[in-house]
């Protein structure tokens, strides 16, 4: 990315990062590449994980999680401006982009915590519900 993008970490994200620290805390990346720990995990690794779970390329992609979150957050009545800023989508209207540089940090922090809490509702006895393609 060419621009600074600030992301507030939710309580759940911090807990996961603390769990991962003993495994990856000494390296430069939280999710290092399989072949080189000096590079981040690749898009191909995410795609391969989705394929192993039974998703084909038309059903789910790594980027598809962003689309899913955007759709559901809009359904949950969060501000479209806040959602778009969280997704790092640039304002297409050049005049608005030149004048409105709002980051919506406080709202984004609340929204992402609400999103993490929403995802927690899918937990079953401490384990996430299995996600797989129906046959």
Predicted confidence (pLDDT) per residue in 42-95, tens digit: 989 999 999 998 999 888 888 889 999 999 999 999 999 999 989 987 767 777
- The predicted pLDDT at position 121 comes to 87
Element (H, E) at 134: none
Cα dist. 106→11, 130, 134 in Å? 15, 33, 39
User: How sure is the predictor about 27, in pLDDT bands with cuts at 50, 70 and 90?
Assistant: confident
Residue 7 reports pLDDT greater than 70: yes
SS3 44: helix
User: How sure is the predictor about 36, in pLDDT bands with cuts at 50, 70 and 90?
Assistant: confident
- The predicted pLDDT at position 14 comes to 96
Look up residue 4 and give its two tokens: 């600074």
Reference 113, options 3, 30, 5, 8; nearest CA is 8
Within 8 A by CB and 6+ apart from 135, the residues are none
Q: Where are the beta strands (DSSP E) in 9-124?
A: 123-124
Residue 134 reports pLDDT greater than 80: no
For 103-122, what is each residue's pLDDT tens digit?
899 999 999 999 999 999 88
Within 8 A by CB and 6+ apart from 106, the residues are none
- The predicted pLDDT at position 13 comes to 95
pTM summary value: 0.78
For residue 41, the 8-state DSSP code is P
Question: Looking up tokens 């996961």, which residue turns up?
Answer: 16
- The predicted pLDDT at position 76 comes to 95
């Amino acid at each position: 990315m060419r621009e600074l993008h600030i992301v507030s970490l939710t309580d759940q994200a911090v807990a996961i990062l603390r769990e991962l620290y003993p495994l990856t805390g000494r390296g430069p990346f939280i999710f290092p590449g399989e072949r080189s720990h000096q590079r981040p995990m690749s898009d191909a690794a995410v795609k391969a994980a989705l394929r192993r779970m039974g998703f084909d390329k038309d059903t789910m992609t790594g980027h598809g999680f962003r689309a899913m979150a955007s759709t559901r957050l809009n359904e949950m009545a969060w501000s479209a401006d806040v959602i778009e800023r969280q997704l790092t989508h640039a304002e297409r209207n050049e005049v608005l982009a030149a004048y409105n540089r709002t980051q919506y940090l406080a709202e984004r922090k609340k929204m992402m915590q609400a999103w993490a809490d929403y995802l927690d509702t899918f937990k079953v006895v401490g384990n996430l519900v299995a996600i797989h393609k129906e046959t």
